[in-house]
Amino acid sequence: GAGVSQSPSNKVTEKGKDVELRCDPISGHTALYWYRQSLGQGLEFLIYFQGNSAPDKSGLPSDRFSAERTGGSVSTLTIQRTQQEDSAVYLCASSPRGQPQHFGDGTRLSIL
Amino acid sequence: AQTVTQSQPEMSVQEAETVTLSCTYDTSESDYYLFWYKQPPSRQMILVIRQEAYKQQNATENRFSVNFQKAAKSFSLKISDSQLGDAAMYFCASPRGGADGLTFGKGTHLIIQP
């Protein structure tokens, strides 16, 4: 079956612009996660959605970052007024609750 | 804050040999899972193996096995009969501490010498 799908695969934008990153999880997976992977680093947790519960936003690095998940399925991560330090690979994962996470291929974001 | 430490930034092994990647973690949970993920240049994170902390028996998946020492909070990955396709970044992950989501180490870059 289809895995976690992320788009775009690569995004280049100018400093100060807003960007939207999309994640389409595996059908039926109630949990959805966003992580950020900076160059040469491990994954940094950003935000977690579980079903209809309020999301866990404790990993968002600043108020320029936000995310939503519509209808318990597709999620969008938005970064406003992008800065060069936002350059990274943004990975999305989904899972049935309590089960291992399945990851997408990520979006490589480059801020000029 | 929960931490995961992978002390080997890079490891190199001859094809067909055995290599062990180390990982230590810090968690206050009593019942949890630990994971090793593989990330090839394609960027996708692939689950290699997971260990349930309440199980004393070390997990095994074909050529991959773990040495789990709960008291020491150590969770190493052993790869037997290394193959060229095993070349990748390997990340150890533990629970995020009272919340869903994972804390990852900084990774070990595994090189397989033909």
pLDDT digits (tens, 9 = 90+) for A89-107: 999 999 987 788 999 999 9
Helix (H/G/I), strand (E/B), else coil: B86 = helix
CATH code: domain of residue A41: 2.60.40.10
Domain with A68, as residue range(s), is 5-111
Domain interval for residue B58: 3-113
| CATH code of residue B87 | 2.60.40.10
Cross-chain residue pair B106–A40, CB shorter than 8 Å: yes
Distance from B110 to chain A by nearest Cα, in Å? Answer: 14
Question: What is the CB neighbour count within 10 angstroms for residue B47?
Answer: 15
pLDDT above 80 for A72: no
Interface touch A42/B100, C-beta < 8 Å: no
How confident is the model over A15-66, as pLDDT tens digits?
999 999 999 999 999 999 999 999 878 899 999 999 888 899 999 999 999 9
Name the domain count of chain B. Answer: 1
Of residues A31, A42, A105, nearest to B105 (C-beta): A42
- Beta strand segments in chain A, E: 5-7, 10-13, 19-24, 31-37, 43-50, 65-69, 75-79, 88-95, 102-103, 107-111
